[in-house]
Structure 1
Amino acid sequence: MPLIPAKVPIVVKKMFPNYIWDIPTSEKTIYLTFDDGPTPEITPWTLEALKKHEAKATFFCIGNNIEEHPNILQDILKDGHAIGNHTFNHVKGWNTKTSDYIAEVIKTQGIMDSKIHTTKSANLFRPPYGRIKPSQGKKLLALHYKIIMWDILSFDWEQSVSPEACLNNVVSQATNGSIIVFHDSVKASRNMQYALPKVLEYYSKKGFSFKALAF
């Protein structure tokens, strides 16, 4: 089982105040995010699940996957979702030179901009694994990126987590303004495809709306 909690402790958020962990609001709004796509096996299914509840979300895309599946990126945008940068090769910031890390982000940004011809890609960035050096974060902030972390981890990618536990990680913790992490990846598909429809139904019945991140 994972050693880190599903909900990020307040003390961690305060340690990194320049990163975005949630969206403070009194409104019943939740921000679903999906990492590691686009993937033909899972992303189209995810889009259909969101559409059933008129939910909008944010997809943090890997540059290499965008190059291989540009049509799925277009589908994400056509459905009104936001997209963000998740590096080109899903690199771990802690193990990567800062210059190489920034180059990964810039390369992915160029691919996103060339594929979509719009400002939809905006300036959203999520570090793979949540692992980013202070030097990398500082440079990205100077480049006007919003570094998006999370309030809730579903742990959908973790094979030791059951689908039921994945669901419970979200519905037991998420509330107004929570940023929730799922993955539109093959590895996470078992848990995500079980939990996502139930999360959408659970919070819709409680009067919540699902919005894409926008700054």
Structure 2
Amino acid sequence: MNMMSRLLQTLMLCTALGALAAGPDSVAKSDRSLWPDKLDSSKGFDRASRAEILVFADALNQLARQDDLKAELHLKSVDAASVAKISERLSATLLSNYREASTACDGKEILCDKLASAADLARSGAALDTQLPAPYQPWLANARAFHRLYAMELLRLAALFPKVSSEIDVFSPAEKTGFELADRHFLFTFDDGPTAKGGSTDALLDTLKQNQIHAMFYMLGDHLKPRSDADAALKQRYDGQCVALHGWEHQSHQKWADWQNSVLNTQKLAQQVFGEAYRPYFRPPYGQRRPDSAAFFAQNQLQVALWNIDSQDWNAKISDVEAAQRVMSLMLLWRRGVILFHDIHPKANRAVPWLVKSLAGSGVSWDRCQQY
């Protein structure tokens, strides 16, 4: 298949994907094999970062201007104020990220126009079809499909917030999101474990040790309890890693009447089992927590810890390779953040080494959980 045929085929895919709603069944997937450059240098990372930022800026701008966002997102109602707030915040972040990605621009680099506003970003992104060199055009078609779906994912969360809380926004400045990290700094996190002895959690712990990665594990009390009794060496298995709280059961803490006991009982168990490896963070299942919970967390010396890069590895519609490539594109877009995986699924064990290897030399720093 020649390049033109491949381009036309990808454009048709883009059009088809663009008609879908970013609901639970629609997952934005990125094909990193279409990007023609390596990411083994800071310049290479920045070049790819600028490209992702421009395409997403255009997609976000187009969706935010839709007359009927309810129909676009397949929702019965939309919190317009929340959508406007989130869109403005994301646009400001994109502009700041583009400037960071342009600091090393020179006469030989592409996508280095000086852009002064979010509107400039969107216009530049819209013009890429005619301005981006030919080797990048197959990537562009795929990226437009990916970022439209991803923007719909985010705007859907914004449209429901705060009625349905999520990682899209905070209720308190004390809540962590991942955006507070420094440029090119990322933290791996894993939810819902631990699995039974010999399961995917243990395999992942071995992989992290081999790759010298120090990650945060957000544990469920009812998953930890059986292993804490049966495996006396569990604490040693997590040597170099960090353990935090995900509640006792995986259900929304926004509507659960007993949510406070869910947090406290898990905290007590995690402290008993892991000692110094325990970290005072709580990640609410689905990102759902009560708007008035800040005082409770402060009283119990806990912080809500969300995420800003979602691998979607829990979804059966995405493979381990697709989850890894999605994460890479979002790392290029946001340039910092907390990456969400799940150690109860084997996808993370295959995705993490690929990311570490693929981004070697790019200037990316995998932060230690102890420093978070």
Which is strand-richer, 1 or 2? 1
- For residue 167 of structure 1, the aligned residue among 299, 303, 324 is 324
Shift of 1:15: 6.3
Letter matched to residue 58 of structure 1: M
- For residue 122 of structure 1, the aligned residue among 256, 276, 279 is 279
Gap change, CA 1:159 and 1:84, over 3 Å in 2: same
Gap change, CA 1:136 and 1:91, over 3 Å in 2: farther
Letter matched to residue 330 of structure 2: Q
Shift of 1:25: 4.2
Q: Is the 8 A contact 1:155 1:161 kept in 2?
A: yes
Structure 2 residue 355 is matched with structure 1 residue 199: yes
**Greater Rg by CA:** 2
- For residue 94 of structure 1, the aligned residue among 250, 254, 259 is 254
Q: Is the 8 A contact 1:85 1:108 kept in 2?
A: yes
Pairwise CA RMSD: 2.6
- For residue 290 of structure 2, the aligned residue among 133, 145, 148 is 133
% identical equivalent positions: 23
Structure 2 gaps, min length 5? 1-25, 28-72, 74-148, 159-167
Which is helix-richer, 1 or 2? 2
How many angstroms apart in 2 are the aligned matches of 1:213 and 1:126?
16
Structure 2 residue 369 is matched with structure 1 residue 212: yes
- For residue 266 of structure 2, the aligned residue among 108, 112, 132 is 108
Gap change, CA 1:75 and 1:119, over 3 Å in 2: closer
- Tell which has more relative contact order, 1 or 2 (C-alpha 8 A, sep 6+): 1
**How many corresponding residue pairs?**
207
- Deviating more after overlay: 204-213 vs 191-200: 204-213
- For residue 77 of structure 1, the aligned residue among 235, 238, 241 is 238
* Map 1:10-159 → 2, pairs under 5 A: 12-13=168-169, 17-22=173-178, 24-26=180-182, 28-39=184-195, 40=197, 41-70=199-228, 71=231, 73-78=234-239, 80-97=240-257, 100-116=258-274, 118-159=275-316
Gap change, CA 1:59 and 1:76, over 3 Å in 2: farther
Letter matched to residue 167 of structure 1: A
Residues 7-49 of structure 1, C-alpha deviation per residue, up to 9 Å, x if partnerless? 968x834665431111534454310000011113111111121
Query: What secondary structure does 1:173 align onto?
Result: helix
Residues 86-138 of structure 1, C-alpha deviation per residue, up to 9 Å, x if partnerless? 111122113311xx10101100111112223x243131110011111213344
Normalising to structure 1: TM-score of the pair? 0.83
Structure 1 gaps, min length 5? none
Q: Is the 8 A contact 1:32 1:58 kept in 2?
A: yes
- For residue 342 of structure 2, the aligned residue among 183, 200, 208 is 183
Letter matched to residue 311 of structure 2: S
- Deviating more after overlay: 205-214 vs 174-183: 205-214
